[in-house]
Structure 1
Amino acid sequence: MAEETHVLDAPPPGAASDWTIPQGWADYTAQEHATWDTLFARQTRLLPGRASDAYLKGLAALRLSEGGIPDFEELSDRLAKLTGWRVVAVPGLVPDEVFFDHMANRRFVAGNFIRRPDQLDYLQEPDVFHDVFGHVPMLADPVFADYLEAYGKGGQRAMQHDALKYLGRLYWYTVEFGLIAEPEGLRIYGSGIVSSAAESRFALDDSSPNRLGFDLARVMRTEYRIDDFQQNYFVIPSFDTLLRATVETDFAPLYEALKAQPDIPVAEILPEDDVMTRGTQGYARQRSRGA
C-alpha cells in the first residue's frame, strides 16, 4: 500500500469531494501490520514517564494496543463516544481548506499508508502511525478535543486574513511538538514527539533545545524547522490554558500586529521570554558543521 509520495494537487480517482477515501483496512499486508506493531512496541516502552497523562489515558481508552493497524471505523466509534471526533482516511496531505473543514467538524484526517520497514526512524510525510498513534489519543481528552475543533474554525478565519503562516506555527509548536508542565515534571504531548523514539528522548533529556513558557503571540512569530529535531519547545501549563488562548483571543487584530513585526529566528531567546531551559544548541551546531 505504501507509495513514494502522498502530496497531491487534486483528489485522486475514487476519493470523495472532501478528499476522504476508504481506509482499505483489509488490503494491509502482514508486513505493514508488523511495521505498526514494531513502532507501537518501541514507543509504548518509551513513553511512560515521558508522555502526558492525557495522552497515556487516551492511548488506553482507545485500545490501540490490540495489535496491527487500527480499523478507522472501529477506532472512530470508540473515539466518538468520548469526544465526538472521528478519524477519516485521506490519500495524503490535503489542501488547507479541506484540512480545516474536517477539523472544524471534529473529523481528524489521517493518511492510510504506513512507512516501509527501512523508514522506521524518519519519514518526511505523516503516515498512519504518526497520525493515529501520535494524534488520536489526545483527541480522547475533552479539553484538547475542543482545542483542535477551535483551531479548525480558526484556520478557516485565518485564510481570510492571509495569516496561515502564523496559525501554522501555533499548530507546529503545540499539536505537533508541544510540551506540558505536569506535577511530576515536563511531559510530551505533540504528535511529532510521541511518535518518534529519538525525539521523545531529545525533547525532554537533551541540553541542546530551548524550553520556553507558552505565549500565543511569541509562538506565532517563531520560525521552525521541519527536517530535524526542534531547537525550541514551548511549554503549556495546562490544556485549559491552551484552549482559552485560542477561544478568547480576537485573532484579526493579532494577525495585523504580527504582520508588522519581524519573525523570530529559530533558537533566539528574547528578554521577555519565560526561559525554563536555555539550550546549548549543541546539536544544531554539530549538524551545521556536518557532524
Structure 2
Amino acid sequence: MMEMNTFTVPDITVLKNAGLSHSADFTLPQPLERYSDEDHRTWATLYQRQCALLPGRVCDEFLQGLELLTIDADRVPDFKRLNEKLATATGWQIVAVPGLIPDDVFFEHLANRRFPVTWWLREPHQLDYLQEPDVFHDLFGHVPLLANPVFADYLQAYGRGGMKAKGLGYLPLLARLYWYTVEFGLINTPQGMRIYGAGIVSSKSESVYSLDSASPNRVGFDLQRIMRTRYRIDTFQKTYFVIDSFQQLFDATAPDFTPIYPQVEAAAVLGAGDIDAADKVYTVGNREGWLDTEDV
C-alpha cells in the first residue's frame, strides 16, 4: 500500500524489519525464515475467521480468486508459489516490501502489474485492528481480486494514473478514489450488495458493519463525487460507494483525468459523511457512533 498522504513509519514496522535491507524500489526477498509458529497460527486464525464470515457478504469474484490461487489457509503463503498461479491468471505478481512505501514507487509497481505486499504479520493481540497494513491485509485482502482480469486491468490503470497525478499535483484527489474503491468499495450483485474493498474484506468487524449497520451512508459510485470526498483513517467509514460492476469501475476511470482534476478542485469538498443533492442514495446513515475527529 502507498503512504496515503503523509505517514510516519510505525514502531512495529521498524521492529519487524530490523536487520533487513530493501532495494531502491523497496522490494526485498520474502524472509520466510522470520515467520514463527505463532505467526502461522495467527495467519490461520485470521484466514479461517474471514472465510467463515465472508460467504454471502463478499463478491463472487473474490471467492473465485481465493479458490483459483489456492492461498494457504494454515500458514503465511510463500509469495513465489503464489506468483506462479497469479501470473498465469492475469500477468500480475506480488512483491515483498517492508510496509508502507512512497507514492511514486507504489504507482510504478502497479503500472507494471506488481502489487506490493507487506511481508510481516500483526501480533496476536492485534487480530481485530492494525492501523498499518500487514501481510494479511495486503495478501488476503487485495490479491484474490488480482486474479480477476477486469479488476486487474483497473488497478494497473490506476497505477499509471497515479504517476501522472503526482506530476500534476493532484495526488490527494486520486488517493480518494483508491480509498473508496480498492480499499473500501461495495458492489451491487444479483444476490444483493457485497464487499470487494480489501480494507473491509480483511476486517471481521467492518465486514459486518459495512453491510449491516444503519450508521453509514451507502451511495452510488460517481468518479468526481468520490474525488471530492474526504475519508476516515481512524474509524469505520461514514460513507461507502457502490459500483454496479467492475467493468463500470474500469470504464469510468479509463479516460485521461487531466481535464477532470481542475473541475474537481473547483468544486466544494465534501466531508466523509456528507450527502450530496446529486447522489444516488441507497442508505442515509443514522450517524450512530460517528466521531467528531477530522476527516482526511
TM-score class, shorter: over 0.9
Partner of 2:45: 38
1: CA distance, partners of 2:71 / 2:98: 22
Shift of 1:17: 1.5
Assess, with a 3 A threshold, how the Cα gap between structure 1 residues 288 and 157 changes in structure 2: closer, same or farther. closer
Q: Unmatched 5+ residue regions in structure 1?
A: none
Shift of 1:7: 7.4
Shift of 1:246: 1.2
Partner of 2:164: 157
Partner of 2:263: 257
The residue matched to 1:180 in structure 2 has which SS? strand
TM-score by length of 2: 0.92
2: CA distance, partners of 1:193 / 1:7: 26
Partner of 2:283: 277
Which shows bigger deviation, 56-65 or 114-123?
56-65
The residue matched to 1:5 in structure 2 has which SS? helix
Partner of 1:236: 243
Shift of 1:16: 1.2
Q: Could you give the per-residue CA deviations for residues 99-118 of structure 1, whole angstroms, max 9, x where no partner exists?
A: 00000000000101100000
Shift of 1:262: 2.3
Opposite residue 278 of structure 1, the aligned amino acid is V
Shift of 1:135: 0.3
> Retained in 2: the 8 A contact 1:106–1:149?
yes
Shift of 1:288: 4.6
Shift of 1:22: 1.1
Partner of 1:56: 63
Assess, with a 3 A threshold, how the Cα gap between structure 1 residues 59 and 14 changes in structure 2: closer, same or farther. same
Over the aligned positions, Cα root-mean-square deviation in angstroms equals: 1.6
Partner of 2:149: 142
The residue matched to 1:283 in structure 2 has which SS? coil
Q: Does 1:83 align with 2:115?
A: no
2: CA distance, partners of 1:88 / 1:138: 16
Shift of 1:25: 1.3
Shift of 1:5: 3.5
> Retained in 1: the 8 A contact 2:44–2:73?
no
The residue matched to 1:88 in structure 2 has which SS? strand
Shift of 1:26: 2.6
Residue number among 186, 190, 212 corresponding to 1:183 in the alignment: 190
The residue matched to 1:169 in structure 2 has which SS? helix
2: CA distance, partners of 1:163 / 1:5: 31
The residue matched to 1:242 in structure 2 has which SS? helix
Opposite residue 263 of structure 2, the aligned amino acid is A
TM-score by length of 1: 0.94
Partner of 2:200: 193
2: CA distance, partners of 1:17 / 1:253: 33
Q: Could you give the per-residue CA deviations for residues 50-84 of structure 1, whole angstroms, max 9, x where no partner exists?
A: 00010010011111144200000111111000000
Assess, with a 3 A threshold, how the Cα gap between structure 1 residues 51 and 263 changes in structure 2: closer, same or farther. same
Q: Could you give the per-residue CA deviations for residues 227-284 of structure 1, whole angstroms, max 9, x where no partner exists?
A: 111000000000000001111x231111111121221111111111000111111121
Which shows bigger deviation, 190-199 or 59-68?
59-68
2: CA distance, partners of 1:73 / 1:106: 15
The residue matched to 1:265 in structure 2 has which SS? coil
The residue matched to 1:282 in structure 2 has which SS? coil
2: CA distance, partners of 1:17 / 1:250: 29
After the TM superposition, list the runs of 4 or more consecutive aligned residues in structure 1 that deviate by more than 3 angstroms.
Answer: none
Q: Unmatched 5+ residue regions in structure 2?
A: 1-9
The residue matched to 1:100 in structure 2 has which SS? helix
Q: Does 1:17 align with 2:24?
A: yes
Partner of 1:132: 139
Q: Does 1:117 align with 2:131?
A: no
2: CA distance, partners of 1:178 / 1:283: 21
2: CA distance, partners of 1:104 / 1:259: 25
Q: How many residues align?
A: 281
1: CA distance, partners of 2:22 / 2:284: 47
